[in-house]
Structure 1
């Protein structure tokens, strides 16, 4: 990319100047502020939820934990820089800031999609092949995370070492890979990076979850009542992972398609407006994960409410009933004896009978919460 490009009326625009109108710059900056705030707060809440349940995390959940950390880091660093540049109508952090911004964005994006591929592979192995011993091994998360970070570090460090470049986007308000290469080597790097870091992982994810859906449907069709309940719980976990994958692909595939179109067909075919739109989509992917956890997983909703210590009137009655229901296989609490005077009030209870009550002497008094609409609910 050259230091400037021709603008309307023959003027030469510096590459760090915005190619959008002032109104579009303000709208872009407002979207960055909104996306960054929602993403940071949402992912911080999810991170707290995973931290509270760290003693019972499974292999997949360790990867989801890592996914949340990398997303939080990317959004907390890049969104403020993008918003400040948009409100200034140009990239204001010079060349070094552009390189660091692009490297961090690309690295975190690679970490995220590699983690999603690892999650899909684990789901596929556990569901379709039942190799649970190797997957549930305590060293498996460490090995997978090491592979994820090595893979991301390799592809994101190549431009820093001379193969490919980081540069400002066409609209001039953020930085990433320079999708307008000047040499055949840079064009080769972009093609290989897009293939290895996006399109092959996307194909693998589609295959994994297609096979999972086929096997889960077959299992539910032939399972009994107990097996169907277990299969339903597994299906919910698969649904969360699959929707995470879908949200990530909807955010990043349009960006890659538009960027590659600019690489091989020229920047005039895409334009700064189209690049700005797909860039906003990638930034919005930061709040997808918290929303998916809340909308698609009952267990994560309950854990998230507990982590945030929300009052009971914020909890749906079904969630409270499930939370306080006795666990399967747990023996009931020993019965408590009430006074003979209270046994007369029942009319049909003998003087020496023992009556089971819901509270033992060590149980704190129940708290009565008023639900919206006047309904009353008791929580312990």
Structure 2
């Protein structure tokens, strides 16, 4: 009798194992190995709520940006094409990434099988890196616009299209290797989403994780910090002129820069740090909960990016107000110095007259009568930048 029960138990286990392998091979139902520390039913529900919020507002925010861009032709400028690229990559994440992890969290397991897991990891990595690279390119373009001494050609889209195509090509260079044998895509966290296999300790996988962190996360961050810091230094260099307009613009741009960099760090750096700790740290150090939170934060960038980079942009904001009120397109005019106000590709979108404060602002030549002519020209350019620069 005892022997009979023992053999029954063994056969049951074997049948379970064979059934699972059968499901994987024929039905492609991917069941990740059970982890004792995996999320509870309540934990999966909480993650599903957050992902549902991200899915809803990510779609709405980015769709709104696309509609505004399509309606108002005054927004069709080279630098705004980079903003549009960010929104396109974010909305693709909302369409082809977040819904599947949301559904998986509702059911508590991955639903698309092994091949679906690999393509999910590839697609989310591709769109995410495109967004990160575009953010850094945007900061460089704004910095280059500040340094430019000639009027920007708002009809020349060749450079902007090269940036857009370059961001997608750069992302493909770093997201295709797992299909070619350099690391691999697989389940992460609680088994309800997929990404690069951070937990593998082979030299092949470790080298890929390090390169991905350096070239797709750290370098874009350093470029953003450098470019925006330079913009702040240029604007702060004319604060000695002591005009209220300059001080207000300086404070506004400082707030925008701090917000951009902080949100970049909040959304993406936890994910990068988690990947490094999972790769180099002690095994089991990254718990299921600790791996889920950075993943959700990274997906939240699809909600944050449109707000910071588009809806808080003066040009897009005026068009947003006109869109909500079903009003006419705001007219684009050049204020005091059109050459300067259009340098960043974002001309002022409201019909306005020069303020009394601007009209009576002393020029650098009056303030420093013995200044070298070249220095006077730089100060005049910088002063116009402070007054008219649109982040």
Give 1:232 shift. Answer: 6.5
Structure showing greater relative contact order (alpha-carbon pairs closer than 8 Å, 6 or more residues apart): 2
In structure 2, list runs of 5 or more residues that go unmatched.
Answer: 1-16, 18-29, 328-347, 355-391
- Give the aligned partner of residue 288 of structure 2: 272
Secondary structure (helix, strand or coil) at the match of 1:268 reads coil
Distance 1:130 1:152, change over 3 A: farther
Count of residues in Structure 1 that have an aligned counterpart in Structure 2: 305
Secondary structure (helix, strand or coil) at the match of 1:176 reads strand
- 1:229-308 aligned at under 5 Å gives the runs 240=256, 243-292=259-308, 296-308=312-324
- 1:1-380 aligned at under 5 Å gives the runs 15=32, 19-128=38-147, 130=149, 133=152, 137-222=156-241, 228=245, 240=256, 243-292=259-308, 296-309=312-325, 326-328=351-353
Give 1:241 shift. Answer: 6.5
- Off by >6 Å, runs of 4+ in structure 1: 231-235
Would the aligned equivalents of 2:31 and 2:110 in 1 still touch at CA under 8 Å? no
Give 1:147 shift. Answer: 1.2
2:119 and 2:254 map into 1 onto residues whose CA distance is 35
- Give the aligned partner of residue 346 of structure 1: none
Secondary structure (helix, strand or coil) at the match of 2:186 reads strand
2:311 and 2:161 map into 1 onto residues whose CA distance is 29
Give 1:300 shift. Answer: 2.4
2:160 and 2:48 map into 1 onto residues whose CA distance is 38
Deviations 1:121-160 (A, max 9, x none): 1111222454665898431101111211110111011111
1:215 and 1:197 map into 2 onto residues whose CA distance is 28
Distance 1:16 1:175, change over 3 A: farther
Give 1:211 shift. Answer: 1.1
2:69 and 2:34 map into 1 onto residues whose CA distance is 41
2:297 and 2:203 map into 1 onto residues whose CA distance is 29
Would the aligned equivalents of 1:42 and 1:290 in 2 still touch at CA under 8 Å? yes
Would the aligned equivalents of 2:311 and 2:320 in 1 still touch at CA under 8 Å? no
Give 1:76 shift. Answer: 2.1
- Give the aligned partner of residue 347 of structure 1: none
Give 1:295 shift. Answer: 6.5
In structure 1, list runs of 5 or more residues that go unmatched.
Answer: 5-12, 312-322, 330-380
Q: TM-score, normalised by structure 1?
A: 0.72
Deviations 1:266-303 (A, max 9, x none): 44111111011111111211111233257733442231
Would the aligned equivalents of 2:278 and 2:285 in 1 still touch at CA under 8 Å? yes
Give 1:167 shift. Answer: 1.0
Distance 1:60 1:223, change over 3 A: farther
Would the aligned equivalents of 1:17 and 1:91 in 2 still touch at CA under 8 Å? no
Would the aligned equivalents of 2:65 and 2:310 in 1 still touch at CA under 8 Å? no
- Give the aligned partner of residue 7 of structure 1: none
Distance 1:62 1:244, change over 3 A: farther
Give 1:16 shift. Answer: 5.8
2:229 and 2:275 map into 1 onto residues whose CA distance is 28
Secondary structure (helix, strand or coil) at the match of 1:269 reads coil
Q: TM-score, normalised by structure 2?
A: 0.70
2:134 and 2:98 map into 1 onto residues whose CA distance is 22
